[in-house]
């Protein structure tokens, strides 16, 4: 926690909110059995305002819905929040066939009797964790009705045929959604009203510079600058619907730098981590044109990491 906490102090996040985090942690210390589930984030989320909004919502006991396009750091923020508050995280990836049994639990036979096998939401409620409901709008609304009581003031989970349990006070749910993805649907009002909705902004050039500099301190500032601009150009191209979102991949950009650090030439690394994410030959051509106008294809590790 201390690293992340110091990072947030350095980012200038509101002191009162950070004090609130401290109090929360003192009140709800991490139990040893849950410690392995507390995330240890590889990346920190950059964005002072977003941090402040998220912290305020969590401290006020609200559930959060992070809505925004691809590569805005929704999952990074979820992980960071889990780590900052020292809570175990249950990550549930939603899909079209997600149903109540998958979320809450199901019956099974343990060799002697029929017993209840708890699902991630139930575990999260019982152990005071942070439940990350990833891509919540991929699921059918009716499958999510089971969460209503858990998400509103009742803070309880009623499993038909078994006990009703109350959520532990430190339990929070953080949902993510991307309204641009194919196959997503609008959340119904009943569900949306149970969340504080945080509209995730696209990472700014400054913050992307900081993110890369922190993760790869040895990278040449000039190359870093060109990679950041390249990302901005791909973003504009995707926004204009000239290419799909496939290549607009922040993880891909960071992975490409990692491959360059391993000794791969820049062209190959960017091909693997950005260009080839598109499965359309024509689109790949468009993406290559953007890259070719920013980053030479033959940069070696010595060029990218000069020291």
- In this structure, the dihedral spanned by the alpha carbons of residues 115, 119, 121 and 123, taken in order and rounded to 10 degrees, is 70
Of the pair 167, 177, the CB lying nearest another protein is at 177
Rounded distance between C-alpha atoms, residue 17 and residue 38, angstroms: 21
Binding string, residues 115-134; x marks residues near another protein by CB under 8 A: --x-----------------
In degrees and rounded to multiples of 5, residue 67 shows phi and psi of -115, 135
| CB of 149 closer than 8 Å to CB of 103 | no
Rounded distance between C-alpha atoms, residue 54 and residue 77, angstroms: 9
Phi-psi region of 161 (alpha: psi -120 to 50; beta: other; left: phi over 0): left
The correct pick among 32, 36, 60, 109 for binding another protein (CB under 8 A) is 109
| CB of 3 closer than 8 Å to CB of 66 | no
Q: Interacting stretch for another protein, rule CB under 8 A, among 31-39, 123-131, 146-154, 230-238?
A: 230-238
Query: From the CB of 83, what's the least distance to another protein, in Å?
Result: 29
Does 166 help bind another protein (rule: CB under 8 A)? no
The correct pick among 237, 265, 277, 284 for binding another protein (CB under 8 A) is 237
Does 242 help bind another protein (rule: CB under 8 A)? yes
Q: Interacting stretch for another protein, rule CB under 8 A, among 79-87, 95-103, 206-214, 252-260?
A: 95-103
If we measure between CA atoms, which residue out of 36, 51, 49, 38 comes closest to residue 5? 51
The correct pick among 190, 213, 292, 302 for binding another protein (CB under 8 A) is 292
Q: Interacting stretch for another protein, rule CB under 8 A, among 5-13, 52-60, 73-81, 225-233?
A: 225-233
Query: From the CB of 153, what's the least distance to another protein, in Å?
Result: 29
The correct pick among 168, 215, 294, 301 for binding another protein (CB under 8 A) is 294
Write out the two tokens for 306.
Answer: 């000069």
The correct pick among 23, 97, 188, 300 for binding another protein (CB under 8 A) is 97
Write out the two tokens for 117.
Answer: 């096998």
Write out the two tokens for 291.
Answer: 């890259």
- In this structure, the dihedral spanned by the alpha carbons of residues 133, 137, 139 and 143, taken in order and rounded to 10 degrees, is 80
Q: Give the position of tokens 């009140």.
A: 27
The correct pick among 31, 236, 300, 302 for binding another protein (CB under 8 A) is 236
Beta bridge partners of 118: 105
Residue 281, SS3 per DSSP: helix
Beta bridge partners of 133: 92, 175
Binding string, residues 133-162; x marks residues near another protein by CB under 8 A: -----x------------------------
Q: Interacting stretch for another protein, rule CB under 8 A, among 13-21, 85-93, 150-158, 183-191?
A: 183-191
Rounded distance between C-alpha atoms, residue 133 and residue 195, angstroms: 12
Where do contacts with another protein occur on this chain (CB under 8 A)? 95-97, 101, 106-109, 114, 117, 138, 179-186, 222, 226, 229, 233, 236-237, 239-242, 244, 280, 282, 285-286, 289-290, 292-296
């Amino acid at each position: 926690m201390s690293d992340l906490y110091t990072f947030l102090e350095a980012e200038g996040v509101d002191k009162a909110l950070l004090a609130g985090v401290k109090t929360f942690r003192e009140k709800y210390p991490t139990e040893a059995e849950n410690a392995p589930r507390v995330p240890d984030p590889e990346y920190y989320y950059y964005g002072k305002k977003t941090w402040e909004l998220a912290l305020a919502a969590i401290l006020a006991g609200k559930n959060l819905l992070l809505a925004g396009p691809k590569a805005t750091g929704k999952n990074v923020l979820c992980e960071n929040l889990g780590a900052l508050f020292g809570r175990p995280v249950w990550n549930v990836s939603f899909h079209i066939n997600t149903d109540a049994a998958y979320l809450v639990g199901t019956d099974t036979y343990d060799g002697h009797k029929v017993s209840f096998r708890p699902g991630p939401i139930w575990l999260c409620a019982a152990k005071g964790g942070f439940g990350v409901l990833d891509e919540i709008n991929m699921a059918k609304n009716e499958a999510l009705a089971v969460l209503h009581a858990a998400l509103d003031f009742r803070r309880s989970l009623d499993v038909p045929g078994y006990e009703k349990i109350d959520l532990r006070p430190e339990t929070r749910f953080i949902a993510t959604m991307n309204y641009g993805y194919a196959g997503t649907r609008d959340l119904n009002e009943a569900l949306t009203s149970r969340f504080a909705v945080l509209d995730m902004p696209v990472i700014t050039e400054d913050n992307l510079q900081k993110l890369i500099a922190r993760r790869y301190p040895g990278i040449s500032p000039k190359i870093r600058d060109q990679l950041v601009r390249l990302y901005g150009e791909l973003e504009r191209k995707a926004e204009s619907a000239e290419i799909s979102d496939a290549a607009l991949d922040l993880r891909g950009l960071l992975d490409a730098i990692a491959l360059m650090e391993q000794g791969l030439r820049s062209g190959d690394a960017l091909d693997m981590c950005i260009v080839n994410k598109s499965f359309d030959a024509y689109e790949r051509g468009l993406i290559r044109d953007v890259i070719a106008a920013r980053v030479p294809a033959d940069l070696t590790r010595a060029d990218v990491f000069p020291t």
